[in-house]
């Protein structure tokens, strides 16, 4: 494993995911969350737990990049896109359908989570593939 590129990839994916999640959840889905406020923590409670959200995103970014390095085939950005799409399908379709089954979530929100999450990890896969690939001479 190229540790330097792994660390750079993890940092880049973390920064991207934090920004993407802020835009997606904080702006795009803001009105939906307001309409379903009874399902979520209060704003002050969320602020008090924000560090856990960031720790979780950092952990996910590191593991996302680590798993990528274990199956790395040096096939360029398409490899990262494929990886991100597959991990996105694994994580978001299953988890969000389960959430829909056990929590009274609007179907439109769950569909948005699934679509947005798959796009997010597809882009993250391209980012890690772009950073992790060996320098060409």
Task: Specify if 16 maps to a domain.
Answer: yes
| Distance between CA atoms of residues 130 and 26, nearest Å | 28
| Distance between CA atoms of residues 66 and 32, nearest Å | 34
Strands (E), the chain: none
pTM of the model: 0.92
100: CB partners within 8 A, 6+ apart = 107, 110
Segments forming the whole domain that contains residue 24: 3-132
Task: Specify if 110 maps to a domain.
Answer: yes
| Distance between CA atoms of residues 6 and 75, nearest Å | 17
State the pLDDT at residue 72.
93
Residue 137 pLDDT level (bands cut at 50, 70, 90): low
Closest alpha carbon to 88 in 4, 28, 13, 36: 13
| Distance between CA atoms of residues 22 and 129, nearest Å | 23
Task: Specify if 10 maps to a domain.
Answer: yes
Task: Specify if 74 maps to a domain.
Answer: yes
pLDDT tens column, 28-82: 999 999 999 999 999 999 999 999 999 999 999 999 999 999 999 999 999 999 9
Task: Specify if 137 maps to a domain.
Answer: no
Task: Specify if 35 maps to a domain.
Answer: yes
**Number of structural domains the chain divides into:** 1
Task: Specify if 123 maps to a domain.
Answer: yes
State the pLDDT at residue 136.
64
């Amino acid at each position: 494993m190229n540790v330097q590129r792994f660390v750079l990839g993890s940092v880049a994916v973390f920064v991207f995911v934090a920004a993407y999640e802020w835009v997606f959840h904080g702006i795009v889905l803001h009105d939906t969350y307001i309409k379903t406020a009874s399902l979520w923590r209060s704003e002050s409670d969320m602020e008090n737990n924000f560090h856990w959200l960031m720790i979780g995103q950092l952990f996910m970014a590191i593991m996302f990049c680590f798993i990528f390095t274990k199956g790395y085939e040096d096939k360029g950005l398409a490899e990262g896109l494929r990886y991100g799409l597959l991990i996105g399908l694994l994580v978001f379709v299953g988890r969000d359908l389960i959430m829909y089954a056990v929590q009274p979530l609007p179907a439109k929100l769950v569909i948005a989570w699934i679509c947005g999450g798959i796009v997010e990890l597809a882009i993250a896969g391209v980012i890690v593939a772009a950073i992790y690939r060996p320098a060409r001479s």
